[in-house]
Amino acid sequence: MESKRQQKFAGLLQEELAAIFQREGSAYLPNTLVTITKVRVSPDLAVAKVYLSFLNTDNTRLSVATVNAHANEIRYKLGARIRHQARTIPTLSFFVDDTNEYVERMDQIFDKIAKERKESGNDE
């Protein structure tokens, strides 16, 4: 369970990282839209796990690897933006948020089940 402090700091990070990716994201991933879906912060606020969603990319794993390769540069830019609001700038780790893929897969399964039930109901 995250504390209020962690939640507030995660919200700040999400907002500022979104602005960084909106302005300068094309330098890391051209023609790709990056969305910050969730940020989780450690209790000491030293480590932040950032979950990303990508649009217009074929390989999300490669996109995350590219962003992780630039993590120190992104952290520096983040530090410049929040230096008056935070004592330490957290170490950033980026991950793929595959929630949308999971939801789509579950919808397909439910549709398949409903279709099978409908077909078996018509046979009787």
pLDDT surpassing 70 at residue 122: no
CATH of the domain at 83: 3.30.300.20
State pTM to two decimals.
Answer: 0.79
Of the pLDDT bands very low, low, confident and very high (cuts 50, 70, 90), residue 67 is very high
Q: Is residue 37 part of a domain?
A: yes
pLDDT of residue 123: 55
The DSSP 8-state label assigned to residue 47 in this structure reads E
Residue 124: band (very low, low, confident or very high) from pLDDT cuts 50, 70, 90? low
Residue in the structure block whose two tokens are 């780790």: 93
Find the domain containing 14 and state its range. 4-98
For residues 105 and 112, give the distance between their C-alpha atoms in angstroms, rounded to a whole number: 11
pLDDT on residue 120: 80
Residue 26 clears pLDDT 80, i.e. is over it = yes
Look at the chain and report how many structural domains it folds into.
Answer: 1
